Amino acid sequence: MRGSRRLLVTGGAGFIGSNFVHYWCEAYPDDRVVVLDALTYAGNRHNLASLEGQENFRFVKGDICDRALLDSLLQEENIDTVAHFAAESHVDRSILGPGAFIQTNIVGTFTLLEAFRKHWETRQEGIFLHVSTDEVYGSLNPSDRAFTETTPYAPNSPYSASKAGSDHLVRAYYHTYGVPTIITNCSNNYGPYQFPEKLIPLMCINILIGKSLPVYGDGQNIRDWLYVGDHCSALDVVIHHGKLGETYNIGGNNEVKNLDLVNMLCQLMDELAPNLPVHSCKKLIAFVKDRPGHDRRYAIDSTKLKTELGWTPSVTVEEGLRRTVEWYLTHRDWWEPLLSEEYQAYYHQVYVS
């Protein structure tokens, strides 16, 4: 594709989506970026505040299950690139209520694929980037090799099963209809604008308000952490140079046990935060009952992305955590309003009842 692009970014008001939109608008100011987001509890228009009013940026509040809206947006904006982030994304919520995950992640992705297929058939140019997760591959034992693009799917939570379902649909649209799709499967992200239900922001915020730090089970589960800016640069490379119909794994080469990660966050907070309610904040660590079906270990092998497209992560976990802690320290006005009644009710359901 030559010239400037016209992107539809679904879920662009969420954590990774909004980081991606900021990244893209800065890197490619001539491109048009249209964000479609339903503004669920996880979507936050403030994440995009600095872009509001800019000529090449538009925000549309709407649902990816709304076919008429999708048809009109794709046509009216003459979209050539879909970056599909919109999803229900939290495992614990999928355990409490899987219905929304099936609706958005599977039905929503299907609806978007159908709309894009029709749109693409008339223009024969474009790309549909489907942003997915390493959780579709299931759980690894300590000595297992990291997930590659050919690891069989074995999702264990309603969240990962719904993402796996959406991945299969995307794959089928490429093989059956020739729709130009690419799938990326990424490891755990962290960084600015992440909703406080996820491990890292939850721990940062609990430290700042002096609340206990709930570590599930024995705290020995392992995740492969990727700084969100590195995820965005990987998606940039995939959109510009990825091969249609392919899947690319994106990982941070940063496998860390949960308890070690929480200890690292405590150390950083002790060093960086003035007047903590509890010092040292390690005193706040509390082991709580394990998540049902809790995957033991994720690890991503992103050799394909490195060798074929030349991408590697640039931020170490030490540096990324420091940046993230500093961000939550200086953005109390962003996260305080998120600790709403709805959030407290959710918190109670997961951690107390």
Distance of CA 237 to the CA centre of its chain: 17
329 binds, among ligand NAD, ligand TYD, none (CB under 5 to 8 A by kind): none
Q: Could you tell me if 156 and 88 are in contact, meaning their C-beta atoms sit under 8 angstroms apart?
A: no
Indicate the DSSP class of residue 251.
-
Is 14 one of the binding residues for ligand NAD (CB under 6 A)?
Answer: yes
* Catalytic residue check, 52: no
Among 94, 157, 188, 221, binds ligand NAD (CB under 6 A): 188
For the CB of residue 163, give the shortest distance to ligand NAD in the complex, in Å: 5
264 binds, among ligand TYD, ligand NAD, none (CB under 5 to 8 A by kind): none
Residue nearest to ligand NAD (CB): 14
Among 28, 31, 45, 65, binds ligand NAD (CB under 6 A): 65
Which residues neighbour 323 within 8 Å (Cβ) at sequence distance 6 or greater?
191, 227, 315
280: left (phi over 0), alpha (psi -120 to 50) or beta: beta
**Which residue, 170, 113, 174, is CA-closest to 136?**
170
Which residues neighbour 6 within 8 Å (Cβ) at sequence distance 6 or greater?
31, 32, 34, 77, 78, 79, 80, 81
40 binds, among ligand TYD, ligand NAD, none (CB under 5 to 8 A by kind): ligand NAD
* Catalytic residue check, 197: no
136 binds, among ligand TYD, ligand NAD, none (CB under 5 to 8 A by kind): none
Dihedral sign, Cα of residue 310, residue 316, residue 317, residue 319: negative
| Spatial distance between the Cα atoms of 156 and 135, rounded to a whole number of angstroms | 8
For the CB of residue 43, give the shortest distance to ligand NAD in the complex, in Å: 2
Which residues neighbour 4 within 8 Å (Cβ) at sequence distance 6 or greater?
28, 30, 31, 32
Is 186 one of the binding residues for ligand NAD (CB under 6 A)?
Answer: yes
* Catalytic residue check, 80: no
* Binding site residues, ligand TYD, CB under 6 A: 91, 188, 198-199, 202, 214-216, 221, 223, 258, 291
- Residue ranges in contact with ligand NAD by CB under 6 A: 10-11, 13-17, 37-40, 42-43, 63-65, 85-89, 104, 108, 131-133, 163, 186, 188-189, 195
